[in-house]
Chain A
Amino acid sequence: MVERTKAEISEANRRRYGELRAAGQEATPKALPQATALDGAPIAPQAVISREEVPPGWYDTVRLRRGEALRIVDTSGLSSVSVIGWCERDPSERLNCADTAKVQWSAALSKGRVILSDMGRVFLSLIEDTSGAHDLLVGGSTPASTLAAFGESARNTRDNFLAAASKLGLGLRDIPPCVSFFAPVSLDAAGRFVWNGARKRPGDFVDLRAEVDLVLVLSNCPHPLDPARPAAGGAVTLVRHRAPPAAADDPCRTTSPEIVRAFQFTDRLYA
Chain B
Amino acid sequence: MSNQPKPDPSDAVYSQEVSAERPWSRILKRGQTLRIVDIEGQQAVDALLYCAEDPAERYSAQDTLRVQGSAYVELGTKLVSNKGRIMARITADTCGRHDTSAGCCSCESNAVRFGEPTKYQHACRENFILELSKYGMAKRDIVANLNFFMNVPIDPSGNFTVVDGISAGGNHVDITAEMDVIFVISNCPQVNNPCNGFNPTPVRVLVWDQPAV
CA distance A174 to B114 in the complex (A): 28
Contacts of A145 in B (CB 8 A): 66, 84
Residue of A at shortest CB range from B62? Answer: A139
Within 8 A of B (CB), among A123-146: 136-140, 142-145
Residue B103 lies at the interface, judged by CB distance under 8 Å to chain A: yes
Residue B6 lies at the interface, judged by CB distance under 8 Å to chain A: no
Residue of A at shortest CB range from B58? Answer: A173
Interface of B is mostly: loop
CA distance A158 to B156 in the complex (A): 27
| Pair A99/B103 contact, Cβ less than 8 Å | yes
CA distance A239 to B157 in the complex (A): 30
Contacts of A105 in B (CB 8 A): 159-161
| Pair B161/A98 contact, Cβ less than 8 Å | no
Residue B179 lies at the interface, judged by CB distance under 8 Å to chain A: no
- Please tell me the number of chain B residues within 8 Å of chain A, measured between CB atoms: 50
Q: Write the A65-109 contact mask toward B (1 if CB under 8 angstroms, else 0).
A: 000000000000000000000000001100011110111111110
Indicate which residue in A13, A139, A172, A225 contacts B191 across the interface (CB closer than 8 Å): A13
Contacts of A190 in B (CB 8 A): 70
Contacts of B199 in A (CB 8 A): 6, 10
Contacts of B26 in A (CB 8 A): none
11 A–B contacts, CB within 8 A, in A order: A20-B113, A102-B160, A116-B112, A137-B65, A137-B71, A138-B62, A139-B62, A171-B56, A187-B156, A192-B69, A261-B112
Which residues of A approach B to under 8 Å, CB–CB? 6, 9-11, 13-14, 16-17, 20-21, 25, 91-92, 96-99, 101-108, 116, 118-121, 136-140, 142-145, 158, 171-178, 186-193, 224-225, 258, 261-262, 265
Which residues of B approach A to under 8 Å, CB–CB? 56-57, 60-63, 65-67, 69-72, 82, 84, 101-104, 106, 108-109, 111-116, 138-144, 154-162, 191-194, 198-199
